[in-house]
Amino acid sequence: QNICEITNFYKLYLIPNSRYWGKLRYSAGVGASYLHYRQQEHTYDYWTFCPKAALSYDFTNALQVSYNFQSNERTSRIAMISDAMIRTNSMEWTAGSPDLKPNRETYHTLRLSYSEARLQAYIEGFYKICHRPNMAVYERTADDQFIYTQRNQKEIDALQTAGYVNYWLLPDKLSVALYGGLFRCFNFGYDYTHCYTSYFLTGNVHAYLGNFSLQAYADNGWRFLEGESKGYNGNSILLKGSYQYKSYQFSLAWQLPLMQRYKMFETDILNCNLQKSTALYSTDICNLVSLTVTWRLHKGRKYRTVNKTIQLKDSDTGIIR
């Protein structure tokens, strides 16, 4: 009988209010998380110290720099910590790993932002460190069967630099927004090292014409590498028009215009024993035109919360009353 017991007293934080020192605002806090795990003879108790810190400095009313730090635990998916073994196809198996343990993740975010009436912009650097995460392992047997499982290995790091700008060409009428940057992945296993760099870009144009609004959106998708799997999520193109009439909103959208075949995602396995590519294409969402009607209900009496105040006297404790 497979008995799996997980008791998680999760993340108790003590974070004081933000403090000011001139133009500098800062806050810091500490926390802890606890996880007890037992599955037959596999058992562990995992404590994690979880600090947090935030700093920001206002150069002017419009220009600000900020830094955030956070460290916490991450628990593996339940499906991967069972001791089950599932056949994927005639040559591949997926095996659970009951000895998987949680890992620590550390985040660093540095941002310089600027905001005024017609222009909002920021540049940002983000770095994530995953200490001893669960990473992919592919084993080849003597009869040419391939077994996929996960084990706690060295480290996964991710670096992202990005920039965002939104500018009102016509105040409250026409805005243009761009968001883009670089994403770099570092995967350090016991018998492999994989690094990968990708670039992303998103553009959005929004026009407000009284009760009418028009939108054009496009991005180049998302590319990443985790463990030994390189992934791609498809790009998106959308043209949309909306009209507001009293409590009704009518929206007409055209998704992936003039496209006949769309790649939704693609995955490549980079293991030395197994190379495999999987892709999913769709024709259903290409040239898709959709009409959406929204009706907002706002009739009836507005809900008001009961305002209870404590009437203190010299003899009152203020606890019950």
pTM over 0.85: no
Distance CA 206, CA 216 (A): 7
What would the 3-class secondary structure string for 149-210 be? Answer: EEEECCEEEEEEEEEEEEEEEECCCEEEEEEEEEEEEEEECCCCEEEEEEEEEEEEEEEEEC
pLDDT of residue 19: 82
For 224-237, how does the pLDDT look when each residue is reduced to its tens digit (9 = 90+)? Answer: 999 999 999 999 99
Residue 315's pLDDT band, with cuts at 50, 70 and 90, is very low
Residue 280 has pLDDT above 80, yes or no: yes
pLDDT of residue 308: 45
Distance CA 271, CA 12 (A): 40
Residue 314 has pLDDT above 60, yes or no: no
Residue with tokens 């001893």: 132
pLDDT of residue 62: 95
Residue 219's pLDDT band, with cuts at 50, 70 and 90, is very high
Percent of the chain whose pLDDT exceeds 90: 66
**Which has the higher per-residue pLDDT, 119 or 2?**
119
pLDDT of residue 99: 83
pLDDT of residue 78: 54
Distance CA 253, CA 239 (A): 6
Three-state SS for 79?
helix
Based on the number of CB atoms within 10 Å of its own CB, is 135 exposed (0-12), middle (13-18) or buried (19 or more)? buried
Structural domains in the chain plus CATH codes = 5-295 (2.40.170.20)
**Which has the higher per-residue pLDDT, 120 or 301?**
120
Distance CA 153, CA 173 (A): 52
Average pLDDT along the chain: 87
**Per-position b or e across 14-36, b if 16+ CB within 10 A of its CB:** eeeeeeeeeeebeeeeebbbebe
Cα distances from 44 to residues 5, 36, 39, 100, 205, in angstroms, run 11, 6, 10, 10, 52
pLDDT of residue 300: 62
* DSSP annotation of 234: -
Distance CA 300, CA 297 (A): 9
Strand-pair category, 262-270 with 229-233: antiparallel
Query: What six digits make up the tokens of 16?
Result: 């004081």
Query: What six digits make up the tokens of 18?
Result: 């933000």
Residue 311 has phi, psi (to 5 degrees) of -95, 105
For 34-92, how does the pLDDT look when each residue is reduced to its tens digit (9 = 90+)? Answer: 887 777 777 778 888 888 999 999 999 999 999 999 998 887 665 577 778 899 999 99
For 88-109, how does the pLDDT look when each residue is reduced to its tens digit (9 = 90+)? Answer: 999 999 998 888 888 899 999 9
Q: Quick one: CA dihedral 143, 148, 153, 158, positive or negative?
A: positive
Distance CA 132, CA 231 (A): 22
For 289-299, how does the pLDDT look when each residue is reduced to its tens digit (9 = 90+)? Answer: 999 999 988 76
Based on the number of CB atoms within 10 Å of its own CB, is 90 exposed (0-12), middle (13-18) or buried (19 or more)? exposed
Three-state SS for 80?
helix
Distance CA 22, CA 305 (A): 38
Distance CA 301, CA 174 (A): 37
pLDDT of residue 2: 52
Phi/psi region, residue 227 (left: phi>0; alpha: psi -120 to 50; beta: rest), is: left
Residue with tokens 């910590």: 81
For 170-215, how does the pLDDT look when each residue is reduced to its tens digit (9 = 90+)? Answer: 999 999 999 999 999 999 999 999 999 999 999 999 999 999 999 9
pLDDT of residue 96: 86
pLDDT of residue 255: 96
Distance CA 3, CA 139 (A): 27
pLDDT of residue 4: 58
Average pLDDT over residues 282-295: 94
Percent of the chain whose pLDDT exceeds 70: 86
Strand-pair category, 52-58 with 119-131: unpaired
